[in-house]
Amino acid sequence: MEWLQTYRIGNELIKTGKYQSIDAYLGSFYPSQIKDSQLRKTPYVLELVIDINVNAIRFEIRSFGVGNLEDGINNTISKENFFTSVAGNFTSYYLCSSYSKVESILDFFGIKKGEILKGKKKDEVGFDLEYSELIKSGLLNDAFRNSRLVKTRSLIRDNKRLVCLLDKAISNLSLFVDDSKKVAFEKEFGKSDEQPKPLISRLVLSKTGNSEIAIVVVKVVNGDEEFYLNREPEAIDFYYKRFLSLANINPNKGQNGVCYFLGPNQVFDISLPRDNINVLKVNTNSPTTQSNLIGENFLLSKDAYEKLKLGGWFISKKFVVKIAGVKHYILPDFTADFKILDYKAELTDKVDMAFNLKDYKRMQQRLYHLSNNCLNSLSFLGFFGDDRQIDIVNRIQLVNPDYFNSVFDVFEEERFKIYQLTENEAINLFTLAASYTLFPISSNNPKKNASLEFFKMLLEKITISDSFLLDNFIKLVKLYKYGKSDEKTKKFTGTLNIPYQNPKYFDFWASTAALKFLILLNLVNRIFKNQIPMEKQNQTLSKTEQFFEISDLSNSESKKSLFYLGKLIRRVALAQQSQGNSKAILNKINYSGMTIHDIQWLSCEVFEKLKQYNRGEFPALDLGENDWALFNNHFCIANSKGQDSWCLSEVENIFYLFIGYGMYWQTMNKKEKKIVKDLKNIDIPDENEPDSENEPDQE
């Protein structure tokens, strides 16, 4: 399926006339961030000028411009022919290179340590051998030998002074261009004329500097001509045909057969080189990939391969989204009338918004909606890796766009219901994507990602058990209670994704997390159990009764009893805090889970503390008298037949305690609210969402 959709994308790109097959082999460049700053560095093109007229080499710079193929002739990557690299035993001979791999220019000229490399007994080596092999295979025309590219190369190689200067320039490049290397330059070369000329205005290339060299190109001055070797048509043809050769596509190896995509044709047993197109190394039945996949039973024509390659390149550059901290390829199954150039507005921007951790404003405006007029389905392929190696860690298969929309719609409805009653700003800012910060991921085992598992089950309509969610709630609560800070990452030690929070406010974070998990539980119930949402809130109901209605508590005596006990625990904690003490009552809770017997003992402890603090400005028992009566009433009904009649697990008992704990503020009466406002020593943290903007890539 992945290859079929990838081919279709490549085919549609060719039809637009704005893309061509060679684009699949182009590299990419993104300006670096200035250290300790939100600003990006200014990128430049460094020109290595070989002036044959005066036997000299100098450096010049110009603005990098733009690097998007959509910018057409203004696109620097395409204009300068900045090709991708290939891993393995591979010499690129690139005349347009990155700053860190500029030695490829020396490889093109066949220069090493100031000398020309020569084969034994006049055997061809290096670039000469490469293009000769391509000519023999039929990929390159024999006229290549007489091109300006080859003749200019020979002219420079025959000039010993230029060979020596080229070696000095490239081997010591930073000395000629970096502002911080002026002293080192003087020490190495002094004021001798026997070296290339450094940049007149050097660049500040340090980590805190504002400049960087994006690419290095080769410009030649010969007589009245000035031209760039990297732009020569023969150079472009050489690199392109070499990529085809690496894929095992050349006229001498073709055979008559049936192409998977185009039917009867000249076909090849393709080999996928280890370049930047990871998605092509994946097949539907394998969880991992091979570095060099051989298609022995998967025959392709040259035309089909080029479209497949272009589609794969486009997906790897344009169709990537981060889900639960892990990068995913988006693999769309487009309808026949989809316009590929509309991909950004109709697909990637919307999917990216849906999984953005903090884009709550546009989420609440439903701007993420996908149209089923142009999409049959979406699949997502999660991966760890870089441009050379990929490890598939997740698949979310065939998500219908209407269902995709409905998942986020239902979440927003459930979130808004809770927010209306709680008026908790953390709930207002909560998005489905931000649930990523509710499922602790171990830094020692990043591939075991419960958040990713949650999204997979949700989008593939795999039933999600309450225990799955609540087990993660308990893990999170324990972090808030006992976790330590990692000063470097600002996360809890041992986790990748849980922002560290002050343990002073442990109860606040735990109760807020409980409300967020309650929203997820309500979402799951709506999606999988077809529970009909409350059409209209009855204004005659109290806030507590309204909360019970929208949170699936109204039909559970055990849940309601724990809710009221949680409120009572909050009262005791407030009473203790108001007198300058720690909230010692919270230490009576076993955060691994509590049995019904434990709950009974806890309620006794709570009642004793209510009596103890039933004095002064905050008479805890008097204020909680009604809640205590309700707790006892619901508890007795739920436990009427002993432990066997109690329907909640040990983990659920903790969860619903914290639901009540978190709803204390919103369900107290006016008299108590006034008393609490006047209490001393009471402070709560900012209710804004914990910082999660800078989540790490899981690679």
Which of 256-270, 355-369, 417-431 shows the lowest mean pLDDT across its residues?
A: 355-369
pLDDT value at 457 more than 70: yes
| Residue 535 confidence (pLDDT) | 46
Q: What is the mean pLDDT of residues 381-402?
A: 82
Residue 276 is predicted with a pLDDT of 52
Is the pLDDT confidence value at 25 over 70?
Answer: yes
Report the 3 state secondary structure along 136-200: HHCCCCHHHHHCHHHHHHHHHHCCHHHHHHHHHHHHCHHHHHEHHHHHHHHHHHCCCCCCCECCC
Nearest to 661 by CA among 395, 475, 477: 477
The predicted pLDDT at position 684 comes to 65
Q: How confident is the model at residue 3 (pLDDT cuts 50, 70, 90)?
A: confident
Higher-pLDDT residue of 526, 529: 526
Mean predicted confidence (pLDDT) in 85-112? 88
State residue 689's pLDDT score: 46
User: DSSP of 568-611, one letter per residue?
Assistant: HHHHHHHHHHHTT---GGGGGS-TT---HHHHHHHHHHHHHHHH
Tokens for 456? 């997979």
Give the C-alpha separation, 510 to 559, whole Å.
Answer: 18
Distance CA 585, CA 134 (A): 79
The mean per-residue pLDDT over the stretch 254-280 comes to 79
Which pLDDT value is given to residue 295? 44
pLDDT of 198 reads 84
Q: Rounded to two decimals, what is the model's pTM?
A: 0.84
> Where does the pLDDT of residue 275 fall: very low under 50, low under 70, confident under 90, or very high at 90 and above?
low
Contact predicate 276/164, CB 8 Å: no
Q: How far is the C-alpha of 695 from the C-alpha of 679, rounded, in Å?
A: 38
When mean pLDDT is compared across 232-241, 264-273, 278-287, 349-358, the lowest value belongs to 278-287
Q: Is the pLDDT of residue 71 over 80?
A: no
% pLDDT > 90, the chain: 54
Closest alpha carbon to 396 in 4, 132, 1? 1
Residue 294 confidence class, pLDDT cut points 50, 70, 90 = very low
Query: Which strands make up the sheet holding 390-399, listed edge to edge?
Result: 320-323, 326-334, 375-385, 390-399
Find the mean pLDDT for residues 314-336: 90
- Per the model's pLDDT, the better-predicted residue between 88 and 75 turns out to be 75
Largest CA distance in the chain: 104
- Amino acid 140: pLDDT: 94
Report pLDDT digits (tens) over 533-573: 454 445 567 889 889 888 888 889 999 999 999 999 999 99
Could you give the angle at which helices 543-550 and 401-422 cross, rounded to 10 degrees? Answer: 160
pLDDT at 686 over 60: no
- Give the pLDDT confidence score for residue 253 in this predicted structure: 81
Q: Which of 193-202, 506-515, 670-679 has the lowest mean pLDDT?
A: 193-202
For residue 334, the cross-strand partners are 375
The pLDDT tens digits of the residues spanning 109-159 come to 999 988 998 877 667 889 999 999 999 999 999 999 999 999 999 999 999
pLDDT tens digit sequence for 176-186: 999 998 888 88
Which segment of 95-99, 266-270, 506-510 scores lowest on mean pLDDT?
266-270
Q: What is the structure's pLDDT at 526?
A: 92
What is the overall mean pLDDT for the chain?
87
What stretches of 324-387 adopt beta strand conformation (E)? Answer: 326-334, 375-385
Of 73-77, 289-293, 316-320, 634-638, the range with the lowest mean pLDDT is 289-293
| 8 Å CB contact between 331 and 280 | no
DSSP letter at 690 equals: P
pLDDT value at 596 more than 90: yes
pLDDT exceeds cutoff 60 at 277: no
Say yes or no to pLDDT of 388 above 60. no
Burial class of residue 475 (count of CB atoms within 10 Å of its CB; 0-12, 13-18, 19+): middle
- List the Cα angle 577/581/585 in 5-degree steps: 75
pLDDT at 403 over 50: yes
Tell me, what's the pLDDT at 698? 46
Average pLDDT over every residue of 68-89? 72
pLDDT confidence of residue 694: 42
Q: With beta carbons less than 8 A apart as the criterion, state whether 419 and 546 touch.
A: no
**Is residue 292 pLDDT above 60, yes or no?**
no
Q: Residue 297's pLDDT is what?
A: 54
φ/ψ (deg, to 5) at 117:
-75, 135
